[in-house]
Amino acid sequence: MNRMLIGERTVLGAAVVDRHDIGMVEPSNSLGLSLEARDEGRIGAQLGPQQLQRDASGQPRMPREVDDAHAASTEFALDDETGEDLAREERHMRHSASRRRTRGRVCRRCPASVAAMTQTLEPQQQVLTRVEGRLGHLTLNRPERINALSLSMIRLASAALSAWAEDDGVDVVLIDGAGPRGLCAGGDIREVYEGIRGGNVPPARFWTEEYEMNAVIAHYSKPVVTFMDGIVLGGGVGISAHAGVRVVTERSQVAMPETAIGLSPDVGALYLLARAPGGLGTHCALTGMRLDGPAAVHAGLADHLVLAAELPELAEQLRSGVVPDLPVLPDAPHPVWMDWCYAPEAVEQILSRLRNCPDPAAHTAADTVSGMSPTAVKVTLEAIRRAAGMTVDEVLDQDLRVGSRFLTHPDFAEGIRAMIIDKDRQPRWFPADLAGVSRPEVLAFFEPLD
């Protein structure tokens, strides 16, 4: 991919405030958005500004509305509506094939076909850009899908960032998301899934332009502030965590849960996770563990914790073109068992240590990793180890190589089937176990693209 900018990201410091505990949602509930949100209520829809709650052991936890979000998610937005639409589309495809329908003819028995004809939100409305004083303000505006990124949204955001970089009237950029549920649940699963089936947007093109946008943010010549409020998954991490001033709240849930669907974390996130303290980054990459605000700061995915209710006031202050001093959390340790358990260079050895660790949380992590795609887990471990010695641009290049190889691997399509289409939560990975994934097969994911 093209090297769009050079240099490294710098994180702005600020004043120290009262100590907050690190809160990490353990991997049994670590895989992002619930695919059963219709039963529990829309994730985050009712969450208002509130302090972190604690479980029976005294550990910090998020409110129940988020903690109950226990099914798998990935970089892509796996919200309830998207999953149902994709399932209907799959049923429509099978129905059409069985009746030998003419290509392009609309089947009015299938709600997905009707929905495709009744889109009301124009693509240009899905990213709102405006200059407010000295502030370039970019809002992802697709709240019904937790601001899932489409290729058109990526292009609109990239164009705005490019224009503001050259605009002497803009001194600071702010990226936030519309709606109460979160900044961004990732890339649009419908667009990527249709691209795999031969649609108008090939996934490799989607990822190429997304990663170029991530690189622009990582090396931006002006301060970029991101409000990582609520759900921030996959592509949401890519559009926010490479910025210079990253703000989380008491509602934040930050994760890279790609291994659950047969992929490896991308959008340059492994550049950040490889630099997280001890074994925390590897734990997050392999299990998809969701981090609340304080934990995201500890992991190096964010810088400041601000109450969600105070974000509008902060946005108003940014219009002056100056980033004010923001609270910085004193560091706090993550669970010590992570450092020992994730030190080995082989997934098999990591699992052995997790299972032999006396901490029950390590056993839960072992169960989580064992349920992921064996290929994705092995490739992810190799990728994060390599990322430790790479620049962010080199990691993004690696992401494109690895992701392109997953497009032809059966686990990607199987993960979508199990988690989104059929929703049986029983993916049939191939190979089915770690022993079936050889070292040469893993290394092949990292070979240069033709």
Write out pLDDT tens, residues 311-327: 999 999 999 999 999 99
* Cα 396 to the center of its chain, rounded Å: 14
Instruction: Name 295's Cβ contacts closer than 8 Å, sequence gap at least 6.
Output: 22, 23, 24, 334
Question: What mean pLDDT comes out for the span 190-196?
Answer: 80
pLDDT of residue 88: 52
Q: Distance (Å, rounded) from C-alpha 309 to C-alpha 280?
A: 29
Higher pLDDT, 280 or 198: 280
Query: Is it the case that residue 258 has pLDDT exceeding 60?
Result: yes
Query: Is it the case that residue 89 has pLDDT exceeding 90?
Result: no
Instruction: Quote the tokens at residue 99.
Output: 């009746």
| 3-state class (DSSP) for residue 3 | coil
DSSP type of residue 13: P
pLDDT of residue 91: 52
Query: Is it the case that residue 401 has pLDDT exceeding 80?
Result: yes
Question: What mean pLDDT comes out for the span 10-27?
Answer: 33
Distances (CA, A) of 324 to 130, 142, 144: 21, 29, 32
Structural domains in the chain plus CATH codes: 27-93+116-444 (3.90.226.10)
Q: Distance (Å, rounded) from C-alpha 382 to C-alpha 25?
A: 25
pLDDT of residue 32: 31
Write down the mean pLDDT value for the chain. 80
pLDDT of residue 67: 33
Instruction: Quote the tokens at residue 326.
Output: 């923001």
pLDDT of residue 229: 98
Question: What mean pLDDT comes out for the span 269-289?
Answer: 98
Query: Is it the case that residue 138 has pLDDT exceeding 50?
Result: yes
CB 207 within 8 A of CB 156: no
CB 291 within 8 A of CB 329: no
Question: What mean pLDDT comes out for the span 4-19?
Answer: 28
pLDDT of residue 198: 82
pLDDT of residue 22: 36
pLDDT of residue 121: 61
78-81: which pairs have CB atoms within 8 A and are 24 or more residues apart? 78/32, 78/33, 78/35, 78/185, 78/186, 78/189, 78/419, 78/420, 79/33, 79/37, 79/43, 79/145, 79/146, 79/148, 79/185, 80/34, 80/35, 80/36, 80/37, 80/38, 80/42, 81/144, 81/145
Query: Is it the case that residue 242 has pLDDT exceeding 80?
Result: yes
Query: Is it the case that residue 223 has pLDDT exceeding 80?
Result: yes
Question: What mean pLDDT comes out for the span 286-296?
Answer: 97
Query: Strand order of the sheet with strand 182-184?
Result: 182-184, 231-233, 253-255
Residue 87's CB is within 10 A of a number of other CB atoms, namely: 16
Query: Is it the case that residue 102 has pLDDT exceeding 60?
Result: no
Q: Distance (Å, rounded) from C-alpha 347 to C-alpha 378?
A: 6
Instruction: Name 223's Cβ contacts closer than 8 Å, sequence gap at least 6.
Output: 12, 171, 172, 173, 244, 245, 323
Among 79-93, 222-236, 331-345, which is the least confidently predicted range? 79-93
Higher pLDDT, 71 or 303: 303
DSSP type of residue 305: E
List residues bridging with 184 in a β-sheet: 232
- As annotated, the active-site residues are 187, 235, 258, 266
Residues of the chain above pLDDT 70, percent: 73
pLDDT confidence band for 408 (50 / 70 / 90): very high
Question: What mean pLDDT comes out for the span 365-386?
Answer: 98
Query: Is it the case that residue 85 has pLDDT exceeding 90?
Result: no
Question: What mean pLDDT comes out for the span 5-23?
Answer: 30
DSSP type of residue 169: T
Higher pLDDT, 123 or 99: 123
Packed helices 374-387 and 280-287: angle between N→C axes, nearest 10 degrees: 150
Query: Is it the case that residue 69 has pLDDT exceeding 80?
Result: no
Query: Is it the case that residue 42 has pLDDT exceeding 50?
Result: no
Q: Are strands 53-54 and 127-132 parallel, antiparallel or unpaired?
A: unpaired
Angle CA 344–234–135, to nearest 5: 125
pLDDT of residue 52: 39
Question: What mean pLDDT comes out for the span 293-304?
Answer: 97
Q: Are strands 60-61 and 135-140 parallel, antiparallel or unpaired?
A: unpaired
